[in-house]
Structures are given as C-alpha cells and as structure tokens.
Amino acid sequence: MNLNDLQHIQEKFKQIFHLQPYVTSRAPGRAEIIGNHTDYNHGFALGAAISQSTYTAVSHRNDDQIALYSANFDQKIHTFPISDIDKKQANHWTNYVKAVVCELSRKIPYKKGFNMYIRSDVPSLGGVSSSAALELSIGLSLQKLYKIDLSMLELAALCQKAENGPLVNSPCGFLDQAACALSKKNRLLFLDFFPKNGLLISEYKYVPIDLSKHDASFLIVVDKKIKRNLGESGYPARRQQCEQSLPLLSNLTGRKIASLRDISIAEFKLYKNKLEKADTKMRMRVEHITYENQRVLDAVKALKYGDINLFGKLLTASGKSALELYELDEKTPELTYLLSQASQIEGVIGARNMGGGFSANILVLLKNSHLDSFSAKLSTMYMKKYYNKLDFISFQPAQGASIIWQSE
C-alpha cells in the first residue's frame, strides 16, 4: 500500500464517522501453493500471501453501538448495539465482523463500541480467501484498539473459529487464516497441521523462494462466474470420507490411526485393495491425502536445492491427484478444462487447482516471458468453449497481515 492509499482510507473514515481512525490494518488474500485438503487431515501444506489486501480502519465510540461501513458492499452505515453481535443476518457481510467480534469478546468483554471502515481489493471469487483476509484485518485492528494480547498465530486461530462458527458457518480449514496472518515476502509458509498445545498446528516455518532467479511468477486463473460455497459444495462430504476411513485403517494396521498423516505411502500400498473393497471413494480420498503430504515435503526439498522444474512437476502432480482422486471438479468441468489446457501452453513450469475445489480457478507457475502469451491463449480457448471471461492474478509471495497506521 502506498501513502496515497492510506491517506484515502483516513479521509473516507473521517468523512463517514467525522473523526480520525485510531488504527488501520491490512490483511492479504492467500494462495494455496501445494497441500490440497491436507489441513483438516493433520498433514502438511505450503501457502503464501498475495499482494491484494483488505484494509480496516477503526476508532473508539463513547456508547455501546457498533457502526460498520464497507466500501465494497452496500456502502452504507450499519449500526447495532454490542448486545446484538450474536444475532445473524441472512447472507450478509456484517456476519463476518460480528463473528470476529464475538470471539474477541471472549478475551475482553466489550463495554463500548467502535466505528469501522473496510475496503478491499482481494477478489471475492478465485480461491484467494477474501473471507480470511477480511477476518484477519478486522481482528488485527480490534486487537490493537482494545489492547488484546494475542500472537498472530492465536489471532489466526480465533478468526478460523469465527468463520467456522454459527454466524458464518463455513467449514474452512486453517490454511486460509494462517497464510493470511503469518506469511512473509519471498517466502512460502510451511504448515504442519498436527494440533499441539491447544493450537491447530504444531509447526510453521518459512521456505525461501526466489522466483526472480528463475524469471518466473505465480499466476492465479479464475472464472469468476463459477461460484461455490464451502458449506454447499462437496467439501463436507470429502472431509467426512476421510474421517470415516480412520477406524478401518486402525483395524487394518493394528494401531490407533488418529488422522491420515499417520499412514505412510508404503502402508497405503499394503492396504489399498482392502480399502478399495470397503469403499472405492474412501480409497481415493485416502490415496490423495497420503501422496499429497509427501508431495509437500518433496516440494520443500526441491526449493531448498533450487530445483524449480521438480517443484513445478510436483504442482502438476498435485492438481492431477486432486481432480482424479479427490474429484474436486465435480459439477465443474470448467476446472478440468482449465487445468488440462493450461498445462500444455508454452512457458508453464507447473499447474494445479487451487483451494477447496468445485470452482474454476487454478494456480500456474510460469516463465515471466510467457505471461502475456499464456493469458491470451488460455483466454481465447476458454471463451470459445464456455463463453466466459477469465481473470488473471499474477503475484510473488507477499507479506502477511500487519498494522499500517496507529495513532500516537
């Protein structure tokens, strides 16, 4: 964000609420680099922040009212008392604010309200988790406003709880909020999703990635007309199938299998036929998760040794597995078409689906010299096939959530 953008936010806040904000925060969208549906299976993943962000400016009030204004939605002030923060409005953006406020109020009960202005350039569609960006931006600004002592990891966990809770009711995993909160510039965020000490992960670390050295960039490709909702898609079904495999795997191995991270590739091969006999779909889900965890670990090694081509092959293998074994293109033939066509265009190092699936968005790693030609070729082919326009988001791994201005 540049100084002019910050000044614009400050001026808009003053215009709407007739005073200066006390604090302004930002939180970026995120890209799932590799590690598809591994989070709720206690596995591994690599994520990154993108440059597009959500900005939130807040100030204290002297009464018990909460006043909200979004430049992206209905552009009017919504006001309600603190006592109403647990009351849901049908399909309304204010539910996200209320959900975060409710979770923060468990730390320090609110006695007085606040004014809040929100502006975002994170695409609402495209699998870049605009919801997590919104939650982290809201949470970070309110944390500073009310002087609530939380680490970024704790705040990310709080925001995921808010999204999973009754006000939003979206069953997202922890990759979204963690990547928005913890990412660093020119680094991929490695997450081990084994719960530990009351937290949703046991480890996170940073994996350097110098794409400029390879004259390469990440590119997100999305058809924004293909909408999905996690709660209404096949996401809950996939999650349930993984959970239902655990008792069977425990019986087969003779030991307690608490999550699919406990199954090695060698063990999967040993029990593959018995899983197939029990339930073909279950076998497919277990196979994807087992191999996907190993692909994440192999991707970390590839980057350590600067092998960008191997890294790209792992991305492509991840996408193939997600479509063939996890069937994330169910009712979305556009996703299959995008991935199959993109992989064949000159300059592509690797390509995979991105996010939970059931929508038309992919992640591509390609040479900078082919960015324009790639976009033109894929757009033309897709328009002829589906008569829809594609959007492209080029990015290098960016910085996670931060406070960008605070009053003295």
Catalytic residues: 176
φ, ψ dihedrals at 120, nearest 5°? -145, 145
Distance (Å) of CA 58 to CA 68, 136, 139:
9, 14, 11
Relative to beta strand 402-406, strand 23-34 is antiparallel
Tokens representing 325? 């074994």
- CA gap 110, 271 in Å, rounded: 54
Q: How far apart are alpha carbons 33 and 49 in whole angstroms?
A: 10
- Cβ burial of 371 (10 Å; 0-12, 13-18, 19+) is middle
Q: Name, in order, each residue with C-beta under 8 angstroms of 56's C-beta and a sequence gap of 6 or more.
A: 24, 25, 26, 27, 116, 117, 118, 137, 138, 140, 141
Helix-helix angle 280-304:265-278, to 10 degrees: 160
Euclidean distance between CA atoms 118 and 137, whole angstroms: 9
Query: Which residues make Cβ contacts (< 8 Å) with residue 266, sequence separation at least 6?
Result: none
Tokens of 370: 């082919």
Coil/strand/helix, residue 98:
helix
Q: Which residues of 7-29 are buried (b: 16+ CB within 10 A; e: fewer)?
A: eebbebbeebbeeebbbbbbbbb
CB neighbour list of residue 295: distance below 8 Å, 6 or more residues apart: 34, 314, 317, 318
Between CA 299 and CA 20 the distance in angstroms is 46
